[in-house]
Amino acid sequence: MTAQLISGKAVAKTKKEEMKAVVENLKEQGIHPGLAVILVGENPASMSYVKGKIKDCGEVGIHSELIRFPDTISESELLQAIRKLNEANAIHGILVQLPLPDHISDRKVIETIAPEKDVDGFHPISLGKMMTNQETFVPCTPAGIVEMLKAIGCPVAGKHVVIVGRSNIVGKPAGQLFLNLDATVTTCHSKTKNLSQYTKQADILVVAVGRAGLIGAEDVKEGAVVIDVGMNRNDQGKLVGDVKFDEVKEKAGFITPVPGGVGPMTRTMLLENTIKAAKWLKQNER
Ligand code: NDP
């Protein structure tokens, strides 16, 4: 069997068209969604991600502000800048691009962002709300994965979802999100013994590790849906995922490519969260 490709790029394009109309409508009601992106330092990958996020905002009509600091900025100065944005009326969402320099605590930065502007969904309040199945900001990568499954008409309830990776930004929130959607969830990590024994049971396999070629055809069930979150550079400098795409596509039912799979959806869900933040602010004003 040759798997059908899940094009995150195509799903993202459709979603952005829909969002453009929503933003237009919000503007007619006097609400102009705004996102502030903070970039510390000159990390080339971070600079490229941030550039992409600002461009996306422009495409759907979201106001965006890029705020740059040198990597010598002190932690307290950065926290102060976040507090100022927490109060800024034109800004509904705040994103601080990670990683940060070693002298700045990611945790303190995330916890300083006002929960109602936490469009990355990393604040403990957002994560706690997700855990108790309340409406909140869902971290963008897990949210994007669920949107792709919706787009291919893949039901989640009752499915066995196996997630490889348990980071706070991808693996753990993905597991919670799937649990909230009534899936049976197994989470694997670096201490999991005999990984393949679990991945082979997955109806939906989500791989978020950061190790090229970790998952091969022998690790996947015939007809499974395979979502490859990984982003790695191979020896030729080419962007590849964690899944051996060429062999797994012969066995899976659906598969995401890298690039063009999860990445574009992650970016798109940030826009969705920003729109959500603007709508919530308006509702709370009433
Ligand atoms: P982290 O490094 O924070 O987490 C990696 C996880 O993989 C950890 O939980 C680790 O386990 C687990 N792991 C490591 N080795 C193994 C192994 N041999 N078998 C099973 N599990 C293992 O990474 P992130 O979650 O931040 O990112 C994962 C990948 O996804 C990266 O390639 C990243 O670039 C990519 N990414 C892509 C995004 C996109 O939009 N496409 C967005 C975010 C990330 P343990 O906890 O035990 O250490």
Tell me the average pLDDT across 268-279: 98
Tell me the average pLDDT across 44-66: 97
Give how far Cα 12 sits from Cα of 115, 154, 202, 278, Å: 26, 17, 25, 20
Residue 119 in domain: no
Whether 229 and 191 map to the same domain: the answer is yes
Q: Relative to the CA of 171, which ligand 1 atom is closest? A: 25
Residue 255 in domain: yes
CATH number for the domain harbouring residue 210: 3.40.50.720
Whether 187 and 102 map to the same domain: the answer is no
Whether 240 and 151 map to the same domain: the answer is yes
Whether 152 and 257 map to the same domain: the answer is yes
pLDDT at 1: 65
Residue 272 in domain: no
Q: Show Cβ contacts of residue 124 under 8 Å, excluding neighbours closer than 6 positions.
A: 110, 111
Query: Per-residue pLDDT tens for 112-166?
Result: 999 999 999 999 999 999 999 999 999 999 999 999 999 999 999 999 999 999 9
Residue 274 in domain: no
Please give the Cα distance from 15 to 20 (Å, whole number).
Answer: 9
Residue 271 in domain: no
Closest residue to atom 17 of ligand 1, CA basis: 190
pLDDT at 130: 97
Please give the Cα distance from 177 to 179 (Å, whole number).
Answer: 5
Whether 174 and 240 map to the same domain: the answer is yes
- Ligand 1, from 49, 98, 199, 231: best to mutate by most atoms within 8 Å of Cβ? 231
Separation of 26 CA from ligand 1 center, angstroms?
Answer: 37
pLDDT at 120: 98
Query: Per-residue pLDDT tens for 30-48?
Result: 999 999 999 999 999 999 9
Token pair 């999991």: residue: 192
Q: Is 120 a catalytic residue?
A: yes
In the chain, what percentage of residues exceed pLDDT 90? 97
Query: Per-residue pLDDT tens for 79-92?
Result: 999 999 999 999 99
Separation of 210 CA from ligand 1 center, angstroms?
Answer: 5
Whether 103 and 160 map to the same domain: the answer is no
Tell me the average pLDDT across 240-251: 98
Q: Is 238 a catalytic residue?
A: no
Provide the token pair at 9: 């790029």
Selecting among 56, 118, 120, 242, the annotated active-site residue is 120
- Please give the mean pLDDT across all residues of the chain: 97
| Residue ranges making up the domain that contains 259 | 140-263
Could you tell me the end-to-end alpha-carbon distance of the chain, in angstroms, rounded to an integer? 55
Whether 163 and 198 map to the same domain: the answer is yes
Separation of 47 CA from ligand 1 center, angstroms?
Answer: 21
Selecting among 15, 53, 159, 244, the annotated active-site residue is 53
In the chain, what percentage of residues exceed pLDDT 70? 99
Separation of 171 CA from ligand 1 center, angstroms?
Answer: 7
For the chain, what is the domain count? 2
